[in-house]
Amino acid sequence: MFAAASLKTALDEVASEFEQETGQGITVSYAASSVLARQIQLGAPADLFISANVDWMNVLQDQGLIDPTTRIDLLSNGLVLVAGGEGVDIGEMRPGVALASALNGGYLAMALVDAVPAGVYGKAALESLGLWQGIQGQIAQTDNVRSALALVATGAAPMGIVYRSDAQVEGRVRVIAEFSPDLHPPIIYPVALTAVGAESARVFLNHLQSQAARAVFEKQGFTLPNG
């Protein structure tokens, strides 16, 4: 399975439980959705793909690289602003927030804003708030959202924009603001078998939609696409 990096904590638990119940092994490769999609385009051996946005799944579907009959919208998520131990609670991000000055000369950690879903969503939210122009020179871009989270957790960046689920699994950061979902495109995680995926992978695809799997995802901060 190829899966968006933001899924790692929850999906590791779901896969482990599945392996214990069925004896069927699951190997998961985590990275940015953009990186994984390009690897599939180049012929990388993946049976299943979970993307952190619909656009990369659409690209693969348009190229005949996934089985569209198996595609479903599996999960949803939200965006938050996180900081290390210090930092002023903002509450909800809104126009006029002095984000640049709050960084105090540091950088705002984000996944790649033109390719990686978390970065794309974050940039869209900042643009909707009228904050992007004033902050774009203070962005530290990383290859995936977990790397952006790590910059904040280790103190390399004072703040970062990550998914709600990421903030929940990292004890060294705290949420200081939330982004309203109407500030960016809907955060949807579609999943599908690849066009060359083994039929046996369909069993795990079904498990991902089970109540047991959903309980794990919800515990880790994800929601269902319908709320």
Annotation: binding site: 6, 33, 118, 145, 163
Binding residues for molybdate: 6, 33, 118, 145, 163
Q: How far apart are CA 76 and CA 53, in angstroms?
A: 9
Q: How far apart are CA 103 and CA 114, in angstroms?
A: 22
Alpha helices in 24-98 (DSSP H): 33-41, 54-62
φ, ψ at 79 (rounded to 5°): -105, 140
Pairing of strands 174-178, 108-111: unpaired
Q: How far apart are CA 182 and CA 83, in angstroms?
A: 23
Q: How would you write 123-160 as a 3-class SS string?
A: HHHHHHCCCHHHHHHHEEEECCHHHHHHHHHCCCCCEE
Which residues pair with residue 58 across a beta bridge?
none
